[in-house]
């Protein structure tokens, strides 16, 4: 922006002025054991990952201004201009969508 290798942050913006959307992840586990005999037990488990099914974004559009010739243009979402801070990518790991698993264990 300065053309001299300096910072590309506008002077009136403080550090950490723009944050990523929050990450919310709630995991839940239910377990119940049944004693069959003195030495044998049966255990049922149920796990839920991202139980509230919250979308966790990992990337946002970080282009606030664009220079075209001598014109500085804010990226406000008008035709051909992207929205600054708009989420562009969501997580594709275990926190991406709700996942449920059920298990059983027999101890003998």
pLDDT in tens, 25-66: 889 999 999 999 999 999 999 999 888 888 888 888 877 777
Query: How confident is the model at residue 104, as a pLDDT?
Result: 98
Instruction: Give domain status of residue 39, yes or no.
Output: yes
Instruction: Give the separation between CA 105 and CA 99, rounded to whole angstroms.
Output: 20
Instruction: Please give the full DSSP string across 27-41, using - where no structure is assigned.
Output: -EEEEEEEE-SSS-E
User: Are residues 47 and 99 part of one domain?
Assistant: yes
How crowded is the C-beta side of 35, counted as CA atoms within 13 Å? 3
Instruction: Give domain status of residue 107, yes or no.
Output: yes
Q: Work out how many domains the chain is built from and give that number.
A: 2
Instruction: Give domain status of residue 102, yes or no.
Output: yes
Range of the structural domain that residue 75 is part of: 57-90
User: Are residues 44 and 69 part of one domain?
Assistant: no
Structure tokens at 21: 């959307």
* pTM check: above 0.75: no
Instruction: Give domain status of residue 17, yes or no.
Output: no
């Amino acid at each position: 922006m300065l053309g001299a290798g300096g910072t590309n942050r506008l002077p009136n913006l403080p550090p950490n002025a723009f944050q990523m959307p929050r990450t919310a992840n709630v995991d839940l586990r239910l377990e119940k054991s049944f004693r069959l005999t003195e030495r044998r037990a049966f255990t049922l488990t149920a796990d839920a990952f991202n139980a509230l099914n919250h979308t966790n974004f990992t990337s946002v559009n970080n282009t606030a201004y664009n220079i075209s010739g001598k014109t500085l243009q804010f990226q406000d979402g008008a035709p051909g201009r992207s929205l600054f801070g708009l989420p562009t990518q969501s997580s594709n790991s275990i926190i991406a969508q709700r996942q449920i698993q059920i298990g059983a264990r027999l101890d003998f």
